[in-house]
Amino acid sequence: MRFHAGAAAVAAIAGAWLRIGLTDWLWLGVAATGVLSAELMNTAVERAVDLASPDEHPLARAAKDAAAGAVLVTAVFAAAVGLAVLGPPLWRTIFG
C-alpha cells in the first residue's frame, strides 16, 4: 500500500507541476481511490481468510490470490490513467 500511496503522491505533484485541468484531476482521483479501495479490500480478505483458515488451504489461497489480482488490475488501470493524463503535458513540457 505504501508504494501505491507514493505513486499517487508523485502523480499529484506532477499534476500540480503540469497544471492539469479539472477533468484530469478527477481521473487521477478516481484511479487513486480505486487502487486504495482495492488495497483495503485485499487487506480485509486476507485477514478474514487468515482468521477463518489459519492453516494452508487451496480455497484460502484462491481467495487471497483473487483479492491480490483485483489490486493488480486496478493498479494497471491507474497506471494507464496516469500515462494518459500526465503523458501529453509532460511530453510538451520537456520537448516543447
From 11, 15, 39, 85, active-site residue: 39
Sequence ranges of the binding site: 39, 46, 64-65
**Is 39 considered catalytic here?**
yes
Written in H, E and C, the secondary structure of the chain is CHHHHHHHHHHHHHHHHHCCCHHHHHHHHHHHHHHHHHHHHHHHHHHHHHHHCCCCCHHHHHHHHHHHHHHHHHHHHHHHHHHHHHHHHHHHHHHC
Q: What residues are labeled active site?
A: 39
